[in-house]
Amino acid sequence: MSVVNYQCPNCTAGLGFDGKTQKMVCEFCDSSFTVEELERIKEEELRESMEEKSAHWEGFSPEQWMEGEMEGMKAWNCPSCGAQLIAEETRGAMKCPYCDNPMVMPEQFEGMYRPDFVIPFKKSKKDALDALRKHYLNKPLLPKVFKDENHLEEVTGMYVPFWMYDLKASGRFTYEGINTRIYQDSKYRYTESSIFHVTRKGSMVFQKIPVDGSKKIDDTMMESIEPFSYEELKPFQMSYLSGYAADKYDMEPDELTDRVHTRMRSSMQKVFTDTVNGYGEVRQKGADMRISGKGDVKYGLFPVWFLNTKWNGRQYAFIMNGQTGRLAGDLPVGKGILVQYWLKRHIPLTLLLTAGAVILRLLGVM
């Protein structure tokens, strides 16, 4: 957690703000300064300090943060060792890399940012590494050198912010149902098509459709490790975060509804189409789905293990559901291996079929 201190330039005692004079006043030496004066003094001291250091060191010219460079970042002080750490401004929990002290920044989860739920981690870091090794198995197209040489750069257990949508949808779907009969007489073949206009209308309720609320985390990756089991959904408590990283959301629920609606539409379409029976062919003609009533949205933190590896100059990212252990991540396909795999099967099969044809010919079948 970050703390700001104001010190007297004359005696280094603490300064307090005096409401009457509107100045910062030293309790010990009665010096008084305006805030602007204090800032100027501070800058001057810093400049002198830099000059002194430059006098001793060749090439010592530390840069100052330019405007905008710190955008999206925030500085935190470790309460255990005092180290200053820079992290994304959405970070709500992390581990100090110096003393391994778990840090939780409660103000990140205050007010509107307080999660409603959390799914605690069930899978450990070891489980994540084991899952990754298992992910490499039975993949004949994976270059062997990848398994042997890929360098695990980072394994991070993080609580990812999710929005969970409870929505009711109503839909109206129209179809054309066709039954076909074929018969013939001595001269013609007749095709008789009976056409029906089919309508289905109804509603269905969806509960807790999850969408991750973080801009920097890929939504497709998060969907790859679904579903999370909501039976283990717990009311939020800060203590669950200790030992893991955590992010707060930086995308509002309204920004993510498109994806939710797309998934709902797909489900609704399938459910209603399955009710159209008794036809040889069904063609959808129209589909209209609307969200009925006000939906409900909750904010939760879900456990995810992030594993980043590097091989051949490229980064490979894998993620694992910290509750169920489901792992996802794209693996490289060796082009030479692909060709070898193909040839190792195509050539023997061709020879086998040719030999079969020759045997049949010798037997007089062909």
Partner 1 sequence: MKGKRHCLAAAVFFMLFLLPVNVLSASGTGKDRVYDYYDVLNEEEEAALNQELEEIYDTYGFEAVILISEDVQKEERMYAAEFMQVQGVGYGENKDGMCLFHQPGKRNVTIVFRGEAQYAFDTGIQDILLDGCTKYLKEDNPYGAYQVVLKALKGGLGRWSLGKSVRPMDVSGSFAGFLTAAFFISLTVSAVPVFFMTMHQKGKMKTIRQMPNADDYIEKESISLDVERDIYVRTMTTRTPLPKDDDHYSSGGSSGSFTSAGESFSGSSRSY
**Among the residue ranges 45-53, 95-103, 246-254, 264-272, the one whose residues contact partner 1 (CB under 8 A):** 264-272
Q: Candidates 264, 289, 297, 307: give the one binding partner 1 (CB under 8 A).
A: 264
Decide if residue 263 touches partner 1 (CB under 8 A): yes
* Spatial CA neighbour of 288 closest among 205, 176, 210, 199: 199
Among 192, 231, 254, 258, binds partner 1 (CB under 8 A): 192
Q: Which residues contact 186 (CB under 8 A, 6 or more apart)?
A: none
Q: Does 94 bind partner 1 (CB under 8 A)?
A: no
The answer to whether residue 233 forms part of the interface with partner 1 (CB under 8 A) is no
| Euclidean distance between CA atoms 25 and 38, whole angstroms | 11
Looking at 111-177, list the stretches that DSSP marks H as alpha helix, in order from N- to C-terminal side: 125-136, 144-149
CB 277 → partner 1: shortest distance, Å? 10
Using rule CB under 8 A, residue 237 touches partner 1: no
CB of 209 to partner 1, least distance (A): 5
- Using CB under 8 A as the binding rule, whether residue 109 contacts partner 1 is answered as no
Span of 12-20, 73-81, 138-146, 243-251 interacting with partner 1 by CB under 8 A = 138-146
Where in 142-181 is the site for partner 1 (CB under 8 A)?
142, 168, 172, 177
Does position 287 interact with partner 1 (CB under 8 A)? The reply is no
Is residue 289 a contact partner of residue 264, using CB atoms and an 8 Å limit? Answer: yes
| Residue 170 contacts residue 292 (beta carbons within 8 Å) | yes
Contact between 34 and partner 1 per CB under 8 A: no
DSSP string, 219-248: HHHHHHTPPPPGGG-EE--GGGGTTSEEE-
CB atoms within 10 A of CB 318: 22
Question: What's the rounded Cα separation, in Å, for the pair 290 and 140?
Answer: 46
324 binds partner 1, rule: CB under 8 A: no
Q: Can residue 186 be called a binding residue for partner 1 (CB under 8 A)?
A: yes
Q: What is the DSSP code (8-state) at residue 359?
A: H
Which of residues 71 and 185 has its CB atom nearest to partner 1 in the complex? 185
